[in-house]
Chains A and B, each alone.
Chain A
Amino acid sequence: MEPRRPDPDALLATVPSEKRGRLKLYLGMAAGVGKTYAMLSDAREAKKRGDEVVIGYLEPHDRPDTIAQAEGLEVISPKLIEHKGVRLAELNVEAVIEAGSAICLVDELAHSNAPGSRHAKRWQDIEDLLDAGIEVWTTVNIQHIESLRDIIAQVTGVFVQETVPDSFIERADEIELVDIPPEALQQRLREGKIYAPEKIEQALSQFFGKGNLLALRELALRHTAERVDEELLKSRRTQLAVEPWHARERILVCVAPNSMARRIVRASRRLATSLKADFLAVSVSSPRQSPSEQGKLELEAAMTLAEQLGAKTATLAGGDVVGELIRFAQSENVTTIVMGKPIKPRWREYLFGSVVDHTVRASGDIDVLVVTGKPEKAEVRPAKNQGKWDWRGSAEALLWVAAASWLGVLVETDVQPANVIMLYLIGVVAVSLRYDRFSSMVCALGSVLAYNFYFTEPRYTLHVYDFRDLITFGVMLAVSLILSSLTARLKEQNRALSERERNTGALYSLSQALAATRSKTEMARSAVGAIRTLTGADAAVLRVDSSGSIKVLEESELGFEKDAKESAVGEWVIEHGKPAGATTNTLAGSAGWYLPLRGAGKTFGAIAVKVENAADWRIDKRHLVEAIANQLTTAIERAQFAKESHQATLKAESEQLRSDLLSSVSHDLRTPLASITGSASVLEIQPELTSQSRELAATIREESNRLERLVRNLLDMTRIQGKVELKLDWYALDEVVESAVSRTADLFDQPVQVESPSEPIMVKVDGLLIEQVLVNLLENASRHAGRHTGVTIRLSQAKGFALIEFEDQGPGISPDRQPHVFDRFESSGAVGSGLGLAIAKAAVEAHGGTLDLIPSAVGAQFEIRIPLGEEVDDE
């Protein structure tokens, strides 16, 4: 076994997610202990503290104290749903989210919603609220916790229907136990504070009997205590990094297709909770045992329950049930395997051995726990009229019997009676190969009767004289029955095998089809086709387009887009990334089953499957569609990544091309510019020139200077955008500033003021770049504030960096332009290329510094911070 490592998911689970709201539970042993009252008085307190609290839903009990407590709290009016002429009030999730309050109170966590609601259960509604970031306070009684169902049933004799999964309860951030002594509760009941007077006596004698209450109270107290323990462990887990993991138990429940399955799952879950163990559930299907229809349903119900209870589930397949089970347990580091006590008759155990025995022998260092329990009342029943009686089978059986009899009569004189029996057996095999069990039994019985009739004394009667003939009949019947059952099993195995083959083949060809294309529509078409082939159902692939509305990417005669209600379900699924629709507990009333295509951190869309009869959609059929959804998601994700990386490459290439082009063009522009500037400057000093011509020459010189600056900026930009290699050297900052000031001296009417401390500020920078930064700022100031502006540059030194404050006296930068001043080609007018400030910022940032625009009343103010570089000892 490999060492158990800290599970990253477990670690992550201890980190409170940022967005999800808190969940606070008020837990009580029974109705009437005062949960709602306690919740409401806490809410009042919270409101006094200034928190926003709303009542999302309050059960309309007539309890005056409770109603008094609710006064003054805002109530979100419930949603009214008509069902069979009755108006039912339900929690209005949308309205609560819209109200945007911090805390929402919801009474009765275990409530089942009216048919037609979005979710089947109220706890799912609360989940939505938590996901929306709302803190929820809610009340629940101990008997509504799923894994305690059996115990509650044992104690009280009541099998609770409305339950909440343990995984939801465990996610609560806080549990408050509301407890009063049973006598006090009974007293309250007698005073009529809980139920109407006519119900009191009945309640006292049954559920509210003292024995019951004591047991329930113990359960509630114990549950809370375990929870406190868990919290302690959790805090230890975050404090001590490793230790608790060594003691981590992992419990695996082996689910068998029988009526005990769900009971065993619940028992294991309780065990797992009390041991703080991980919980896994597995079922092993073997070709040697094909469960009955009832068994299949039980198995499926149990596996679904295990999933709801937070188990990691798996279905294994293999000839050797025990071997598969042990292998899985070892690979998952399981410490305890839980199994049900065998319910087969003992003689079968002697003959075929028992899985439990084998497992105990093979388990090695894994503990095996055998759980007992009465079979549960079947909640699930196979649909009736399954496998219609096929009259042709029986007819053909009789035909075979007749044929064998006729042939037997023909050859009787030449052969032994045993050979005649063989003729009948051919018929039995032939019928059981092609028809159901009933027909083969008809054939077996018919054969025995016919043999009796035609070939035993007295002939042509069904009487038997010879006792040995009875033995012959018995053996003949037994052999026929065994033959037919073996053949039937063979047939079943073949069918299962070919179905598996078909599924594998279809999934394989789907994955090939998905890999062969990059078009999402093609992918969707393949997926829809695969769903059709595998399940026979119509399906559609939905996706969200850029405008946020849902589009059908591909569909096979679903008519999806015509139905607004169905699109709403699709939208919900894509938005929440959770499955919904028929076969699920969410929006179960819709005609389609919707599965999100959920990739890493993003839902690409959904698959919609038309569900005509939800009972047809067994877990294995659903798993097929889920597998297709997973494949499709992976393919879309892959295509997306490929597209993104292709685009990135293209972008990088075009960037490079642009910067190469720019740099070569700029180089070629400079030489002629140098000639123009030079020539104009010569022209300007020619003595014979008129003053007008001289001015023109000056204009040529100035303008080509400007052009030269633009070209220089372009070059600088391409240089900085590429990989800048800084030529770092030590400079006194005021030197650099003064150099920049003297280079731009002719841009200003009055000299630029430089204020620097007497002690030189030494910086290790690329001097030319920083000089250029200042030149660009100065040019910018001259351009926008005008030649006449006064510019002040203040130098100072703070911890680790040099600070250059730059300000002019111009009109400043309007607020709407301020966020964009450092954008490329951002310029307020026709003057300048709009590159100067962008270059300046990039150059400063290349030094690890910052260049910011400082909001000010007068003029434009910039602030440059440059790291000083490492200290050097002066020699």
Chain B
Amino acid sequence: MNDPIRVVVIEDEVAIRRFLKASFGDGEAELHEAGTGSEGLTLIARKNPHVVLLDLGLPDQDGLAVLRELRTWSNVPVIVLTARGQDTDKVAALDGGADDYLTKPFSVAELMARIRVAMRHAQTSDHSAQTAIEAGLLRLDMAGHIASIEGVELALTQIEFKLLAILAQNVDRVVTQRHLLLEVWGPAYEDSTHTLRVHMANLRNKLKAHAREGLKIQTEIGIGYRLRQ
């Protein structure tokens, strides 16, 4: 895959576009810029990018609306860029099909890591048929409902296993709590955050007991969880 990574950035702040361009300047990626939502959608249709960076605060329309429209015709990974304090927007974007988010100010290293994760997940998008999931040292046997780290089995409950499986499928990517609730408990339990927290706390503790370098569940307050490998 020697093709340069094509990135479309939809962002109205010129200064931010400029430094993004500089950070992609080494030739392994090419950046296409759009200042408004409609411009951005046209650009995505034309350039068929690998990743879209979408600012939520656009002058012509709501970034969430752009995302909604985009999702009607494209599965391209979208990373939303937000200012701090727009947490409800973040969650709405993630639940509305965005792959990840970045809070300004962010560093280039963070951005690159997120782009790589998003692209990796885009390539292996279908998890349903998988019989086993591997995330670093963690291995999940989907058929046997067995989770193990370096061959050592974790004593997990049904629910904990399901939660871990979802997080492992989205390794390094944030999963909203609503997503977890819907997948594990079903639509009737969308608001049972207390239950989710208790199970997640137990799961985190069990993982911590076997923790090796790096492998852990990270809580993103107000948004969801991220499994780091």
Contacts and interface: CB of A to CB of B under 8 A. Distances in A.
A715 interface: yes
A767 B219 CA distance: 11
Interface string A733-773: 01110110010000000000000001010100001100100
A736 B107 contact: no
Interface in B187-225: 189, 192-195, 197-198, 200-202, 204-205, 218-222
Contact of A762 (B83, B194, B205): B194
Nearest to A687: B26
Nearest to A872: B194
B195 A679 contact: no
B18 interface: yes
Pick the most buried of B87, B108, B201: most chain A CB atoms within 10 A of its CB: B201
B106 interface: yes
A677 B83 CA distance: 13
Contact of A685 (B84, B109, B195, B205): B109
B108 A682 contact: yes
B148 interface: no
A708 interface: yes
A732 B193 CA distance: 10
B104 interface: yes
B20 interface: yes
Interface in A717-744: 727, 729-732, 734-736, 738-739, 742
Contacts of A736: 219, 221
B107 A677 contact: yes
Given A734-B201, A762-B197, A767 B221 contact: yes
A678 B220 CA distance: 22
Contact of A679 (B19, B87, B189, B218): B19
Interface string A646-680: 00000000000000000000000011111111110
A874 B105 CA distance: 39
Nearest to A701: B107
A875 interface: yes
A630 interface: no
B104 A760 contact: no
B13 interface: yes
B193 A730 contact: yes
A503 interface: no
Contacts of B1: none
B229 interface: no
Interface in B166-202: 189, 192-195, 197-198, 200-202
A685 to B, nearest CB: 6
Interface in A380-433: none
B92 interface: no
A671 B13 contact: yes
Given A730-B194, A735-B204, A677 B105 contact: yes
A708 B103 CA distance: 12
A671 to B, nearest CB: 6
B198 A678 contact: no
A705 interface: yes
Contact of B105 (A705, A730, A872): A705
B137 interface: no
Contact of A732 (B105, B197, B222): B197
B222 A670 contact: no
Contacts of B197: 730-732, 735, 760, 762
B7 to A, nearest CB: 14
Contacts of B18: 675, 679
B108 A685 contact: yes
Contacts of A768: 87, 221-222
B198 A681 contact: no
Contacts of A270: none
A36 interface: no
B218 A732 contact: no
Most buried by B among A681, A708, A758: A681
B22 interface: yes
Contacts of B222: 727, 729, 767-768
Main secondary structure of the interface of B (DSSP, over half): helix
A827 interface: no
Interface string B82-108: 011101000000000000000011111
A583 interface: no
B219 A738 contact: yes
B193 A729 contact: yes
B45 interface: no
Contacts of B221: 731, 735-736, 739, 767-768, 771
Contact of B16 (A674, A732, A758, A872): A674
Nearest to A667: B83
B226 to A, nearest CB: 11
* Of B15, B194, B218, most A-chain CB atoms within 10 Å: B194
Nearest to A683: B22
Nearest to A730: B194
Contacts of A712: 84
B13 A682 contact: no
A704 interface: yes
A872 B18 CA distance: 50
B108 A678 contact: yes
A675 B83 CA distance: 12
B194 A674 contact: no
A673 B103 CA distance: 13
Given A682-B108, A734-B201, A872-B194, A739 B15 contact: no
Nearest to B194: A730
Interface string A683-698: 1010000000000000
From B15, B19, B85, residue with most partner A Cβ within 10 Å = B19
A768 B223 CA distance: 10
A760 B16 contact: no
B104 A670 contact: yes
Contacts of B105: 673-674, 676-678, 704-705, 708
Contacts of A735: 197, 200-201, 204, 219, 221
A516 to B, nearest CB: 52
A750 B221 CA distance: 24
Given A677-B105, A732-B201, A760-B202, A739 B218 contact: yes
A874 B193 CA distance: 10
A794 B68 CA distance: 44
Contacts of A738: 218-219
A702 to B, nearest CB: 11
A677 B110 CA distance: 12
A683 B218 CA distance: 29
Interface string A766-785: 01100100000000000000
B109 A678 contact: no
Contacts of A701: 107
A678 B222 CA distance: 25
Contacts of B201: 732, 734-735, 760
Interface in A525-564: none
A735 to B, nearest CB: 4
Contacts of B193: 729-730
A768 B84 CA distance: 11
A670 B194 contact: no
A730 B83 CA distance: 24
Contacts of A731: 197, 221
Interface string B1-42: 000000000000101101110110000000000000000000
A735 B177 CA distance: 14
Contact of B22 (A673, A679, A705): A679
Contacts of A732: 197-198, 200-201
9 contacts: A671-B13, A671-B15, A673-B105, A674-B83, A674-B105, A678-B23, A682-B19, A731-B197, A874-B194
Considering the complex of A and B, which 3 residue pairs feature the smallest CB-CB distances, nearest first?
A675-B15, A760-B201, A677-B105
Given A682-B108, A731-B197, A767-B221, 8 more contacts: A671-B15, A678-B23, A678-B108, A679-B22, A681-B108, A735-B221, A872-B194, A874-B198
Interface of B: 13, 15-16, 18-20, 22-23, 83-85, 87, 104-109, 189, 192-195, 197-198, 200-202, 204-205, 218-222
